[in-house]
Structure 1
Amino acid sequence: MSSSYDRDRRLQLLGMADDAVLPFEVKSLGVRGRVVRLGDTVADILARHNYPPSVSALLAEAVTLTAMLGSTLKFEGKFILQANSDGPVDMLVADFTTPGQMRGYAHFDLDAVEALEDSGEADASALLGEGYLAMTVDQGDHMERYQGVVPLDGASLSEAANLYFQQSEQLPTDVRLAAGPIVTSGEAGGENWRAGGIMIQHLPDDGEPSPIALSSGDVPEDYEDLMDEQEEDDRWVRGRLLLATVEDHELLDPTLEPERLLYRLFHEDGVVAYPSSAITRHCLCSRSRVADLLRSFPQEDLADMIEDGRITVTCEFCSTDYVFDPGEIVRTH
């Protein structure tokens, strides 16, 4: 029988599995990947908005995918994921700032989203419609930005990410994402949002390309013909088949450590987990930054912003209100 110490220690370890990205490798299959588990981080991001459930789930998946890809950065910078479309959710933005700071928001047509939810058709493809998914690496001031763009065309975020890596990087990739509210009991019980994801990539034997070595996204005209002529590596086929057995509840279950999930999937092939990196919610907005932004506007635009003698700006990411007296906004040039 386990002691209370053992039980408390297990709970501590379970908490450490949340809000983190865990890299892993299955050398026998030529596969590397990452598992993402988000608890308080994604719950905090969503709690700052009053989004319908389907929009919350979509944004939570976007944040998970962004954490998965952004955590591969080997330098100080930012990874930005942005979806623009003609669907009810016409904009979806999530960004990752090293070493592990996340934020995100969604812009949507409430009536159109609620109509889809009422009909039971509010999946990612219906919410996003047709448009594009852009993934950008920002290395900071005076450094070149890298961006890859793929069409959405009714695809989910994971399908769009797979398409990007297949076309732009010719790197076989399989991404699984899940998000949803989990009901817990106890004093801190209730409905809490969680998100999770897992990604595997089949790397060539002669190198280890960065999963987000973004390019212009241009694809040779004969790309599809070339890919059709290539046979899939048996090891990659096995990796994909094993990943296909992952169920959404396994990606969300707070009592299932990522290491246990990896063992279930790949123990026969020998899986190695590497040190995880932490993820936290953090917004880059501040009163001084907002003031500097306002000072860049023409005076006539600033005049139009004045209501009841004040200028109020709300951060789209964290919903923080910044209130200014017009006299504070004095242009320096």
Structure 2
Amino acid sequence: MTDMPDNIVMPFEIKPLGVRGRIVRLGAVVDDILHKHDYPAPVSALLAEAVALTAMLGASLKFDGKFILQTNSDGPVDLLVADFSSPSGIRGYARFDADMVAALKEPTPQALLGKGHLAMTIDQGQGMERYQGIVALGGVSLTEAALGYFQQSEQIPTRLRLAAGALAQRGLRPEAWRAGAIMVQHLPRDGGISPQPFDSGDAPEGSKEEVTEDDHWVKARLLLDTVEDHELLDPMLTPEELLYRLYHEDGVTVYPAVTLERHCTCSRDKVGDLLKSFSDDDRAHMNSNGVIDVTCEFCSTHYQFAPEEVEPAPEARAQAQ
């Protein structure tokens, strides 16, 4: 038996319906990201969904750059960050209040996030303009917030499912985290888009125009709505098999997948340069028994410096003054 495909983003197309999409399967990559920290299970699930969503959207970049997803909110998880660096790097981090998480009777994604905003940023590199879309958080899941982003920023008919969970396993860890995602969008080859209900807010109350959705798009999204979490997480169910279950009637074309890997951009040199940019007072406060100890929030790598290693050069100090 061949190995099941994992840690991938696979593009696909349902040509008769004018629909394109991507499916994400994350195993060891997301498990490694989560086990770099001691997250409660609900926080792990939320971050795993954020990583899957970021991988799905970031893998569509046609240039060397980054796709960054970040939430800022007043909930128990007040910060989520996940970023994709082309061509295949993914990482993620969550900041949370352990007491607030433990106090939740139902730690749903909506309750964990609270009110705030979700920002999605495309960074094309140094000297290039950034593009950012922002949607409000407040009683919505990551899936619902992402759909709001597509409706407001791109106005492309989109359907999306996210799933995350821990599976029992043998070996070093009693359980392994997995995440999955699937998205379809109506992008007919002729360049048109399907009609969709839209309210600009300018029309008088009660006069909202009724718009009939494209039948092909309705079929595609209704079929996607039948996907269950276990189908996105099952390591024994290939992406091709899941797509066949959904769209065999119309036929699915799959394209070469992007293979993902956990990565982190931190290094001793980068951390040292950052410390040199701090003030003397800031570095003095970080000095503990003659050592400055820094831990990367993403990968939990520890870096230690002697104070004299991170003193700015005289010319840099002169420029700062």
TM-score past 0.5 threshold = yes
- The worse-fitting range, judged by mean Cα deviation, of 53-62 and 230-239 is 230-239
Cα 1:227–1:246 shift into 2, 3 Å: farther
TM-score (norm 1): 0.88
Which residue of 2 is the match for residue 330 of structure 1? 311
From 139, 149, 165, give the equivalent of 1:180: 165
Letter of the structure 2 residue corresponding to residue 234 of structure 1: D
From 196, 202, 211, give the equivalent of 1:222: 202
Cα 1:86–1:224 shift into 2, 3 Å: farther
Which residue of 2 is the match for residue 79 of structure 1? 67
Which residue of 1 is the match for residue 196 of structure 2? none
Alpha-carbon distance between aligned partners in 1 of 2:283 and 2:17, rounded to the nearest angstrom: 59
Letter of the structure 1 residue corresponding to residue 174 of structure 2: G
The DSSP-based 3-state class of the residue aligned with 2:128 is coil
From 228, 233, 242, give the equivalent of 1:252: 233
From 98, 116, 131, give the equivalent of 1:146: 131
Q: Give CA-to-partner distance per residue, 1:169-195, whole Å, 9 cap, x none.
A: 11011110000101134x577311000
Residue 276 of structure 1 deviates from its aligned partner by: 0.5
Alpha-carbon distance between aligned partners in 2 of 1:227 and 1:237, rounded to the nearest angstrom: 20
Which residue of 1 is the match for residue 42 of structure 2? 54
Residue 298 of structure 1 deviates from its aligned partner by: 1.0
Alpha-carbon distance between aligned partners in 2 of 1:239 and 1:233, rounded to the nearest angstrom: 10
Alignment of 1:1-333 (within 5 A): 7=1, 10=2, 12=3, 14=4, 17-116=5-104, 119=105, 121-185=106-170, 190-207=174-191, 221-222=201-202, 228-332=209-313, 333=316
TM-score (norm 2): 0.92
Which residue of 1 is the match for residue 319 of structure 2? none
Tell me the C-alpha RMSD between the 2 structures.
1.9
Letter of the structure 1 residue corresponding to residue 81 of structure 2: V
Q: Give CA-to-partner distance per residue, 1:98-122, whole Å, 9 cap, x none.
A: 0110111000110010111xx2x10
Cα 1:326–1:24 shift into 2, 3 Å: same
Letter of the structure 2 residue corresponding to residue 199 of structure 1: M
Cα 1:32–1:220 shift into 2, 3 Å: same
Alpha-carbon distance between aligned partners in 2 of 1:228 and 1:188, rounded to the nearest angstrom: 58
Alpha-carbon distance between aligned partners in 2 of 1:208 and 1:175, rounded to the nearest angstrom: 21
Cα 1:23–1:250 shift into 2, 3 Å: same
Q: Give CA-to-partner distance per residue, 1:141-169, whole Å, 9 cap, x none.
A: 11111100011111111111111111211
Cα 1:205–1:227 shift into 2, 3 Å: farther
Alpha-carbon distance between aligned partners in 2 of 1:303 and 1:170, rounded to the nearest angstrom: 51
Letter of the structure 2 residue corresponding to residue 65 of structure 1: L
Residue 222 of structure 1 deviates from its aligned partner by: 3.5
Q: How many pairs does the alignment contain?
A: 308
Residue 204 of structure 1 deviates from its aligned partner by: 4.5
Residue 132 of structure 1 deviates from its aligned partner by: 0.5
Q: Give CA-to-partner distance per residue, 1:35-86, whole Å, 9 cap, x none.
A: 0000000000001000000000000000000000000000000000001111
**Alignment check: 8 A CA contact 2:19 2:188 kept:** no
Residue 203 of structure 1 deviates from its aligned partner by: 1.5
Alpha-carbon distance between aligned partners in 2 of 1:189 and 1:319, rounded to the nearest angstrom: 18
The structure 1 segments of at least 4 consecutive aligned residues displaced by more than 4 Å after TM superposition are: 223-228
**Alignment check: 8 A CA contact 2:243 2:252 kept:** yes
- The worse-fitting range, judged by mean Cα deviation, of 190-199 and 200-209 is 200-209
In structure 2, list runs of 5 or more residues that go unmatched: 194-198, 317-321
Residue 207 of structure 1 deviates from its aligned partner by: 2.5
- The worse-fitting range, judged by mean Cα deviation, of 25-34 and 254-263 is 25-34
